[in-house]
Structure 1
Amino acid sequence: MTVLSAFTPQSATELAIKPLWQYLLSLGAKPAALTPLLTQARILEPQPNELLLSQGEQQTSAYYVVDGIVRACHYAQEGTERCKEFYFEGELCFLYISWLKQEVAPYQLEAVTRCKLVQMPLSILDDAGMQGVQLALLKQQLLYKEQKEAFLLLNTPEQRYLYLLEHFPLWVARLTHAQLANYIGITAISLSRIRKRLQDSR
């Protein structure tokens, strides 16, 4: 059974959640395990900076990004912020450590831009028919974690910026200067200097 034939939309709700349905099927979900999505999934259209999950709260939902950008960010008491990750179209957004350990969220999930999201209960992932999805998601996260560590530990700030230019040009094009600098781990002023140096060397 193909992904498309496994889902025949009958209503506006089913049409709206179809991208999430197909995404989960592509990761190995059993079609029967996705039936709860028909009644439990919700379509959200948050505005920029709107909260999806507050830091310190219990996480109960995941968000499939249909359109827009979401980020996970930690806010320290002194007012500083550190961005853990950005999520773009076609990605499932949730905090793995909170899901696996059933702990409160150490990061805040918030819309960066105006978004269209499909919200689903994380409890759906616990179904026996979702074991393939769990394994696929954990493999993705492990690869991402290793790549992120190498990105930060093995590269200078300039090399990090060049890496994003080569491998994630969408990030450079769609994130603000300050957001990009925060992810690289430098100040906006330092990023401006890097950009100017690279421009001058051409």
Structure 2
Amino acid sequence: MKELVNFILQYGNLNQQQIELITGKATELEIRKDDYFSEAGKISTQVGFVLDGVMRVCYYDNKGEEITKYFIDENNLVVDLESFQNSICSSAYVQAVTDCKLIVFSKSDWEELLNTIVGWDAIVHKIIARALMQKIDRRSPLVSEDATTRYLSFMEKYPKILNRIPLSYLASYLGITQSSLSRIRKNIR
């Protein structure tokens, strides 16, 4: 719980009573590797904070190919925001890449925190803004750089994730085939 509190306090100040209210609403959840935190076609009903493990957000394109949009590791929130906020069916899957330990909040508890804690909405908006900037930062190079450069950038930016994810997911994220990724990795060594 300490990790969650430290994470939140990066974005604003809370008193002890507010912190206790937040931690009182939180529950721990373990998700086994390959299981889903939320699924396409369903409404996302919880916000999670990753304590341990790696998750990914993925979808299927119009050819039925699985595409990894991004990875989420420790000390980050995980939520299908559009589905969660608007109570609409999700178009993506949030899947555990490794066994994961999360702290989760139900939609009703999350909304209660928003309605009870003064300044909580401002903290949440700052967290969302940071996550959106990270998402843009992750995706932008994928459009303009060659595959080797994209792989090297991934290695540099996400060294903690690299050896914890299957190569098929990484290849999908980088927008290349798994055999191309294997060639790139072989040429770098």
TM-score by length of 1: 0.79
Moved more, 46-55 or 123-132: 123-132
Q: Does 1:145 pair with 2:135?
A: yes
Once the two structures are TM-superposed, the CA of residue 76 in structure 1 deviates from its matched residue by 4.7
Q: After superposition, what is the alpha-carbon deviation per residue over 1:112-137, rounded to whole angstroms, capped at 9, x for unaligned?
A: 11111111134346334312312311
* Whole-angstrom distance in 2 between the partners of 1:45 and 1:149: 29
State whether residues 65 and 116 of structure 1, in contact with CA within 8 Å, keep that contact through their aligned partners in structure 2: yes
Determine which structure has more spread, i.e. the larger CA radius of gyration: 1
* Whole-angstrom distance in 1 between the partners of 2:160 and 2:11: 24
Once the two structures are TM-superposed, the CA of residue 98 in structure 1 deviates from its matched residue by 2.6
* Whole-angstrom distance in 2 between the partners of 1:180 and 1:36: 38
Q: Does 1:197 pair with 2:178?
A: no
Q: Secondary structure at the match of 1:194?
A: helix
* Whole-angstrom distance in 2 between the partners of 1:25 and 1:157: 38
Aligned to 1:87: 72
Superposition map of 1:174-189 within 5 A: 174-189=164-179
State whether residues 33 and 130 of structure 1, in contact with CA within 8 Å, keep that contact through their aligned partners in structure 2: no
Once the two structures are TM-superposed, the CA of residue 38 in structure 1 deviates from its matched residue by 4.1
* Whole-angstrom distance in 1 between the partners of 2:62 and 2:24: 39
Change (3 A) 1:169 1:120: same
Flag structure 2 segments of 5+ consecutive residues without an equivalent.
none
Q: Secondary structure at the match of 2:163?
A: helix
Change (3 A) 1:158 1:109: same
| From 31, 44, 58, the counterpart of 2:29 | 44
* Whole-angstrom distance in 2 between the partners of 1:141 and 1:37: 20
* Whole-angstrom distance in 1 between the partners of 2:99 and 2:65: 24
Once the two structures are TM-superposed, the CA of residue 195 in structure 1 deviates from its matched residue by 1.6
| From 85, 88, 107, the counterpart of 1:103 | 88
Aligned to 1:22: 6
State the AA in 2 paired with 1:156.
D
Q: How many residues align?
A: 183
State whether residues 64 and 118 of structure 1, in contact with CA within 8 Å, keep that contact through their aligned partners in structure 2: yes
Moved more, 190-199 or 26-35: 26-35
Once the two structures are TM-superposed, the CA of residue 26 in structure 1 deviates from its matched residue by 2.4
CA RMSD of aligned residues (A): 2.2
TM-score by length of 2: 0.84
Aligned to 2:121: 131
